[in-house]
Amino acid sequence: MKPDPEFQFIADTTTAKMTIRREFAARRELVWDCHTKPELLERWFAPKPLSTKTKSMEFQEGGHWHYAMVDQDDTHYWGRTDYTSITPKTHYATTDAFSDETGAPNTDMPISDWDVTFSDTSKGTMVETVIQYASPDDLQKVIDMGMKEGLTSTLETLDEVLAELTK
Amino acid sequence: MENKSPELDAVFHALGDPTRRAVVQRLVQGEASVSDLARPFDMGLPAFMKHLGVLQDAGLVVSEKHGRTRTCRIQPETLTAAERWFEEQRAFWQGRYAGLDELLRTLEQGKKDET
């Protein structure tokens, strides 16, 4: 993977928190639009080769985004994001849940609170996303599920390193 | 794959620090003595030994004394469980943001073309 110096990813299991910071070479208004308009959000939220499908979205406090990340076998991973607070072009907060096709949150799986903050930089715009789970056990559940399902498929490099190590 | 929560917590705590991550990255390339490991860092040996202690407690690193030298090496089994998930998430967000970069470029380009 290419070095990406403007990218910071900090995971802390003791506080059940992930912090992701990334700078973009674009105006804050445009970066904000890409996060808050469904027709734009759909074009990047799921990393390749996945794609994003919006079932419904109301970007307002009390509203929600019901969406799916779709893989190449057409498997849909449904999610539901409820908007709890919005300060235009600066910040929004959500609760993020696993869901099903009807948009009902999956109550067996942990819910996370997201805080997404936008600020100006000399290069363009900084986006900071803080994802907080209720407890380390909740985060562990998500980790366990993620490892079982293998939604992401970008592990070849790491696997190669580990294969080297265990020789 | 087994994931015992307290162990994984210790691993993530250990990897949450840039000095300790650098030590792990160095040891991935092969074993090294404590003094060689400590050299690149701007800190006293006691502070460095503390970092090494955290890595050992997490089961990421083991050390052995040979005469007057203490040699460290990585424990690949421990690295697998924690690093795999950590790297997945990191790669996921990197991929996601690479897509956003592309979209932003397209949108900026579209704007320029209009004017």
Residue A107 inside a domain? The answer is yes
Q: Into how many domains does chain A fold?
A: 1
Element (H, E) at B30: none
Domain that holds residue A19: 7-166
Check residue A151 and give its pLDDT: 47
Q: Which fold has domain B5-114?
A: Arc Repressor Mutant, subunit A (1.10.10)
- The residue among A34, A143, A159 with the most chain B CBs within 10 A of its CB, best to mutate, is A143
User: Counting beta carbons within 10 angstroms of the beta carbon of residue A114, is it exposed (0 to 12), middle (13 to 18) or buried (19 or more)?
Assistant: middle
Contacts of A71 in chain B (CB under 8 A): none
Each as own residue / partner, the long-range contacts of residues B27-32 (CB below 8 Å, 24 or more positions apart, any chain) are B27/B61, B27/B72, B27/B73, B27/B74, B28/A161, B28/A165, B28/B74, B30/B73, B31/B71, B31/B72, B31/B73, B32/B71, B32/B72, B32/B73
Residue A2 counted as domain residue? no
Distance, in Å, from the CA atom of A150 to the CA atom of A157, rounded to the nearest integer, reads: 15
For residue B3, the model assigns a pLDDT of 43
Task: For residue A127, give the chain B residue with the closest CA.
Answer: B97
- pLDDT above 70: percentage of residues in chain A: 84
Task: Enumerate the residues of chain A whose CB falls inside 8 A of the CB of residue B60.
Answer: none
Of the candidates B89, B96, B103, which has its C-beta nearest A11's C-beta? B89
A109 occurs within a structural domain: yes
- Over residues A55-105, the pLDDT tens digits come to 999 999 999 999 999 988 898 999 999 999 999 999 999 999 999 999 999
**For residue A149, pLDDT beyond 70:** no
Predicted complex ipTM: 0.83
CB contact under 8 A, B93 and A147: no
A60 domain residue, yes or no: yes
Query: What pLDDT score was predicted for residue B99?
Result: 92
pLDDT tens digit sequence for B17-39: 888 888 887 887 788 999 999 99
For the record, the structure tokens of B78 come out as 């421990």
User: Which residues in chain B are contacts of A47 at CB distance < 8 A?
Assistant: 92-96, 98-99
pLDDT of B59-69, one tens digit each? 889 999 989 89
Q: Which CATH number do you get for residue A154?
A: 3.30.530.20
Give the percent of chain A with pLDDT over 90. 59
Residue ranges in chain B modelled with pLDDT below 50: 1-5
From the list A22, A147, A162, the residue facing B1 with the nearest CB is: A147
User: CA of A103, closest CA in chain B: separation in Å?
Assistant: 23
